[in-house]
Amino acid sequence: MTPRARLVLGLGSLAALGALLLWAVGGLPDFGHPRGPYADLAPKIMLDERHVTNAVTGVTFDLRGFDTLGEELILFVAALGAAVLLRAQRSERAAEEAAAAEERRGPATTDALRALGAVLVGPVLLLGIYVVVHGALTPGGGFQGGVLLAGALLLVYAAGQVAGVQRVRPVALVEIADAVGAAAYMLVAIAGLVFGVAAMDNVLPLGTTGSLLSGGTVPVLSVAVGVEVTAAVTLILSELVDQMMLRGRE
Amino acid sequence: MFAYMVAVWLLLVGLYGVITSRHLVHLVLCLGVMQASTYVLLLAIGWRAGGQAPIFADISSRTPVVDPVVQALTLTDIVVEATVVAVLLALTVQAHKRFGTCDPDALGALRG
Amino acid sequence: MSTLQTVCLVAVAVAGTATVLTRDPLRQTVSSGMFGLTLAVLFLAFGAPDVALSQIVVAGVAVPVMVLLALAKIRTDERRSEE
């Protein structure tokens, strides 16, 4: 099929799809008046019964915690997939280039970049840990804080020498952290069965609203997800970067 | 209603970009635009007129808030977007290595 | 619907169209980042700070970095195959 014919067919189908979608969207409830009873119940349950002030994180880790288990495993599998796809190529040349890469040095980054990196890494790390730990209280949670922490590690790579960072970063430690995070979430989910209630139930003591340890299992799950997301994102980025690093610079 | 129309427009524009793409990475980013249309639709459904954000750290528990369940779904959606982009980029790198080109029209048939 | 929400929705539609119409992948990374940021402001206008935080972090940090690394890898592959 020629590109021209494909374009005409594509535009025609898009117009038909657009008409159908606009018709469908016209039947939704009025903008500004959500109809679901869940919308009224969820904040009430979160605040009064579970002592969690951030209703969204409470819903993510408590009411719909099983959903989040699947989502965390998606991230785990994506890191696995990227490693499988990109590591296979590395082994074929690893033998010949490993020795050569040792002697080659990456290009030295400018002093301004290294100074900026050194200054920013500490605050970004602290911000990431703060966002992960305060997931139950203020906007934040495991995912946002986890990617922030991975960003801090990426900053080290971007501001430092390429070859030096590769020697320093232990890939095995990141893989173990990934597995530990995923396993911790699953263990907390099974803990409900151990305590005699349904799985994924909130079994830890619910502290006072507004303190750091409120909400039972919600901050624990937030930290587990934070560790897992940091490790998974670092793995994915390191797979893409290692390809370049192994080649060295001519 | 305007919010729903913007969501439909983003979906159509993203799909047009995917259909007429000449570079695999351009295709992946247009897919991201399509995924963004679902976020806009979900949040527009959950919006309550006069509602606050569903964080009760400093507001009383009687104030009307927007729907937090839809926001939890959108959060999951955003994380899934990141993973989809990661795997698709790994596939793109492999496809370039195998076929020598990043043009979707020029990619050959799968070889065993 | 307030004026802020209308303005944000129009900005999102324009940024999305601009992202699709930019053909070069390297330039598209920048417009995709801008699209992500306008989306984050829209989410804030809709009362969703958690989602906005997630969107900023993913579409501003994770996705552009992955795309740039993949593009660099592709370019290094091309240069390597020419040798």
Q: Where are the domains of chain B?
A: 2-53+63-99
CA dist., res. B89 & res. B107, Å (int): 15
Over residues B62-91, the pLDDT tens digits come to 788 888 899 999 999 999 899 999 999 989
Report domain extents, chain A: 37-247
N- to C-terminal Cα separation, chain B: 50
The parent domain of residue C31 ranges over 3-82
Q: Which CATH architecture group holds B2-53+63-99?
A: Orthogonal Bundle (1.10)
Please compute Rg for chain C using Cα positions. 16
Over residues B29-44, the pLDDT tens digits come to 999 999 999 999 999 9
- State the helix-helix crossing angle for B24-46 and B68-99, rounded to 10 degrees: 170
Q: What DSSP line would sit under C24-58, residue for residue?
A: SHHHHHHHHHHHHHHHHHHHHHTT-HHHHHHHHHI
% of chain A with per-residue pLDDT over 70: 81
N- to C-terminal Cα separation, chain C: 60
Q: Tell me the HSE value of A248 on the side-chain side, using a 13 A CA sphere.
A: 13
CA dist., res. A119 & res. A126, Å (int): 12
| Inter-CA distances, A146 with A119, A195, A222, A229, C70, Å | 20, 29, 10, 5, 22
% of chain B with per-residue pLDDT over 70: 96
A-facing residues of B in 3-22 (CB < 8 A) are: 3-5, 7-8, 11-12, 15-16, 19-20
- pTM of the entire structure? 0.87
Q: Are B26 and C28 in contact (CB under 8 A)?
A: yes
Q: Which of B33, B52, B65 sits opposite C19 (nearest CB)?
A: B33
N- to C-terminal Cα separation, chain A: 44
% of chain A with per-residue pLDDT over 90: 17
Q: Are C16 and B36 in contact (CB under 8 A)?
A: yes
C14 touches chain B (CB under 8 A): no
A31 touches chain B (CB under 8 A): yes
With a cut of 60, say whether residue A122 has pLDDT above it: yes
| Inter-CA distances, A209 with A43, A206, A218, B4, Å | 13, 8, 13, 37
C68 touches chain A (CB under 8 A): no
**Reported confidence tier of residue A247, pLDDT bands at 50, 70, 90:** very low
Q: Which tokens belong to A65?
A: 């915690």
With a cut of 60, say whether residue A100 has pLDDT above it: no
Looking at A104-170, list the stretches that DSSP marks H as alpha helix, in order from N- to C-terminal side.
111-133, 142-159, 162-168
Higher pLDDT, C7 or A28: C7
Question: Residue B14: its pLDDT value, please?
Answer: 95
Residues with Cβ < 8 Å from A72, sequence gap 6 or more?
A: A181, A182, A185, A225, A228, A229
Residue by residue, pLDDT tens for chain C (83 residues) are 788 999 999 999 999 999 999 999 999 999 999 999 999 999 999 989 999 999 999 999 899 999 998 998 888 888 877 76
Q: Are B93 and C74 in contact (CB under 8 A)?
A: yes
C77 touches chain B (CB under 8 A): yes
For chain C, the helix, strand and coil percentages under 3-state DSSP, each to the nearest 5: 90, 0, 10
The domain total for chain C is 1
